Amino acid sequence: MIISKFFIIPIVIAIGLSVTFLLLNFDDVSNAKPAGFDGDRDGVVDSLDNCPRNTNSDQTDFDSDKLGDECDIDDDNDGIFDSLDQFDTDPTDWADFDFDGIGSFKDTDDDNDGILDVDDSDPLPISEKLATKYLQDLRVCADMDDGTLRLVCYSEFFGKIAENQENNSDALELSIALSKIGLIDDCHFVSHEVGHVAFNENPDVIENLIGMDGTMCRGGYFHGVIAAYFHDVQEDGAQFPSDYDSMCNDLIGSSNYQDCVHGLGHGMVHYFDDDLDSSLKLCHDMSFYQNRLCVRGVMMQYTDNVLTRQGITSDVINNLCSKSKLNTIDYAECSMSIGGTLAFFTNHDFKQGTKLCELIENKQDQNYCIDGLKGEIQDSEKYETDSLTLDKREKFQPQFVKGTSKVIDIQSPAIISNFQFVHEIGLISFEIDRPQYVVMYVPNEFVTSKMVVTVDGQIPDELDAKGNVLGEDISMIRFVPDNSGLVMMTPLPE
């Protein structure tokens, strides 16, 4: 081997002696490779290959800079790196933040508001303004190879945006746009940081949540706000709030209520940290569906904390969930949350995430992990394409049974009103304002083995019931009515 360059570096050590080191630069080697060497095996020898480390047999080089497109981070030499450039072979355009397929340079209505740019006092979407303003910050994060460090970088970046912008939704709009482009794999994680900043600036949970769209980044902002609240309670040395189970009540009847209750789980882990038992106990004291939402939030935050602090190793991942300390359902939720968390650490890459799940030795737990990974990826993809309007989004509408501490949990896009439970005859009734599916979780003491369900006097064609859901003393009743009106659940004689 012939070394083409070396460097002489004099170093003065503490006692004043000058010592000279000969530092060889092994990266700069001439004639080190045999003639005809083809490192990437694409049929083009390295001496002629414009991307010797990337397979590119066609040798395309759009901007003719002698750097092939496969390894050129800016194919059209417009100063915008390709991961952000939506038109990377058009040097006149890079942005399309209204996602209509037309670049800003050619688009006559950049924000798709129906007002032509020439007549629009504010023609650009806020996401495009912010992406342009913070290009260099975005590039720093995008260029990081390590998935964990990249996530941390983006979280800090979006925290900075939230601090600088008067409206927190501006940061969320940017995160959504960048997730659609693919610059960030999913905006849920980074929106946690936006929520943290929002609460630090205005320490009132509900004020930060009311008026926000809980579906933005799948509730991540909500989780961040609530987590920040509990973090502050813990930092102040205060007792855990006794009214935690009613914190979200102002959002009952909206789709945001579910995200708020789920966020409680995240907040509990911020308060109790590694004391998983205390967080889970508080979840279990809530109603059936609230409990499941809360536990899911607990496990998401817990698995993320551990994997972030300790790293993803076989030992860590096999001991993350304790079968001896958790009940069967919580253990399965914990194992699935490992997969969900791994999705964020691997840019939602199913193949890479599966390899990490396979570090788990127990086959059933490994399958739980893969199910959680798959579910998170599917939710992320669905979010990118889902355009449900507010009236079609599922609303969580718990009904409190008078004279008891029991709750009947109801989920439906329809609005539930005039709920009644008549103890004397065991009748459950309420009204729905449109023919949308209804899912109910009813304590078994309020149902009998034979009940008739009618909507406006008609038995729904689609009707399903299941007792002892997840081993709990709860029955699930689901039906899809053909019309709106009065719902009646009437017990029949045994």
* 36-40, 73-77, 87-91, 269-273: least confidently modelled range: 36-40
DSSP per position, 238-256: PPPPTTGGGTTGGGTTSTH
Instruction: Determine, yes or no, domain membership for 456.
Output: yes
Q: Which is more confident, 360 or 72?
A: 360
Q: In total, how many domains does the chain have?
A: 2
> Residue 253 is encoded by which pair of tokens?
């009847």
Residues 288 and 432 in one domain: no
Q: Which of 353, 385, 417 is the last residue of a domain?
A: 385
Q: Phi first, then psi: what are they for 308, rounded to 5°? A: -70, -45
Q: Which is more confident, 104 or 417?
A: 417
> Residue 272 is encoded by which pair of tokens?
């109790």
DSSP per position, 311-339: -S-HHHHHSSS-TTTS-HHHHHHHHHHHH
Residues 375 and 419 in one domain: no
Residues 161 and 250 in one domain: yes
Whether the Cβ atoms of residue 38 and residue 44 lie closer than 8 Å to each other: yes
Q: Which is more confident, 90 or 327?
A: 327
Please name the amino acid found at residue 373. L
Whether the Cβ atoms of residue 200 and residue 225 lie closer than 8 Å to each other: no
User: Above pLDDT 70, what percent of the chain?
Assistant: 88
Which of 25-29, 104-108, 216-220 is most confident?
Answer: 104-108
**Class of residue 491 by CB neighbours under 10 A (exposed 0-12, middle 13-18, buried 19+):** middle
Q: Phi first, then psi: what are they for 469, rounded to 5°? A: -65, 130
Residues 448 and 483 in one domain: yes
**Rounded to whole angstroms, what are the CA distances from 412 to 211, 390, 400?**
21, 12, 16
* Bridge partners for 467 per DSSP: none
The CB density around residue 416, as the number of other CB atoms within 10 Å, is 20
Please determine, for residue 422, whether its predicted confidence score (pLDDT) is greater than 80.
yes
3-state SS assignment for residue 69: coil
Encode 316-355: b = buried (16+ Cβ within 10 Å), e = exposed: ebeebbeeeebeeebbbbbbbbbbbbbbbbbebbbeebbe
Residues 343 and 454 in one domain: no
DSSP symbol at 167: S
Instruction: Determine, yes or no, domain membership for 10.
Output: no
Residues 413 and 470 in one domain: yes
Which of 23-37, 88-102, 301-315 is most confident?
Answer: 301-315
> Residue 397 is encoded by which pair of tokens?
């509408």
* 123-132, 168-177, 322-331, 446-455: least confidently modelled range: 168-177
Residues 193 and 281 in one domain: yes
Residues 6+ apart with CB under 8 A from 281: none
Please determine, for residue 378, whether its predicted confidence score (pLDDT) is greater than 60.
yes
Is the sign of the CA dihedral 308, 135, 97, 214 positive or negative?
Answer: positive
Please determine, for residue 9, whether its predicted confidence score (pLDDT) is greater than 70.
no
* Bridge partners for 6 per DSSP: 24
Instruction: Determine, yes or no, domain membership for 119.
Output: no
Q: Phi first, then psi: what are they for 488, rounded to 5°? A: -130, 130
Please determine, for residue 150, whether its predicted confidence score (pLDDT) is greater than 90.
no
DSSP symbol at 458: B
Mean per-residue pLDDT, 111-137:
90
Instruction: Determine, yes or no, domain membership for 175.
Output: yes
Q: Which is more confident, 369 or 43?
A: 369
Residues 356 and 335 in one domain: yes
Residues 427 and 377 in one domain: no
Whether the Cβ atoms of residue 205 and residue 247 lie closer than 8 Å to each other: yes
Closest C-alpha among 406, 452, 398 to residue 425 = 452
Domain that holds residue 417: 397-491
**Rounded to whole angstroms, what are the CA distances from 181 to 184, 343, 344, 384?**
8, 18, 16, 10
Q: How far apart are CA 217 and CA 384, in angstroms?
A: 9
> Residue 285 is encoded by which pair of tokens?
């004291």
Q: How far apart are CA 308 and CA 317, in angstroms?
A: 12
Q: What is the pLDDT of residue 10?
A: 39
Please determine, for residue 275, whether its predicted confidence score (pLDDT) is greater than 80.
yes
* 83-92, 112-121, 425-434: least confidently modelled range: 83-92
Please determine, for residue 16, whether its predicted confidence score (pLDDT) is greater than 50.
no
pLDDT tens, position by position, 308-356: 899 999 999 999 999 999 999 999 999 999 999 999 888 789 999 999 9
* 21-30, 391-400, 403-412: least confidently modelled range: 21-30
Instruction: Determine, yes or no, domain membership for 21.
Output: no
Q: How far apart are CA 84 and CA 131, in angstroms?
A: 9
Q: Which is more confident, 99 or 436?
A: 436
Instruction: Determine, yes or no, domain membership for 444.
Output: yes
Closest C-alpha among 259, 253, 288 to residue 474 = 288
Whether the Cβ atoms of residue 95 and residue 106 lie closer than 8 Å to each other: no
Residues 206 and 315 in one domain: yes
Q: How far apart are CA 385 and CA 115, in angstroms?
A: 25
Q: What is the pLDDT of residue 11?
A: 37
Instruction: Determine, yes or no, domain membership for 135.
Output: yes
Q: What is the pLDDT of residue 167?
A: 84
Q: What is the pLDDT of residue 80?
A: 80
3-state SS assignment for residue 453: strand
Average pLDDT, the chain: 84
Q: Which of 385, 408, 438 is the last residue of a domain?
A: 385
Instruction: Determine, yes or no, domain membership for 241.
Output: yes
Mean per-residue pLDDT, 53-63:
73
Residues 358 and 466 in one domain: no
Please determine, for residue 15, whether its predicted confidence score (pLDDT) is greater than 50.
no
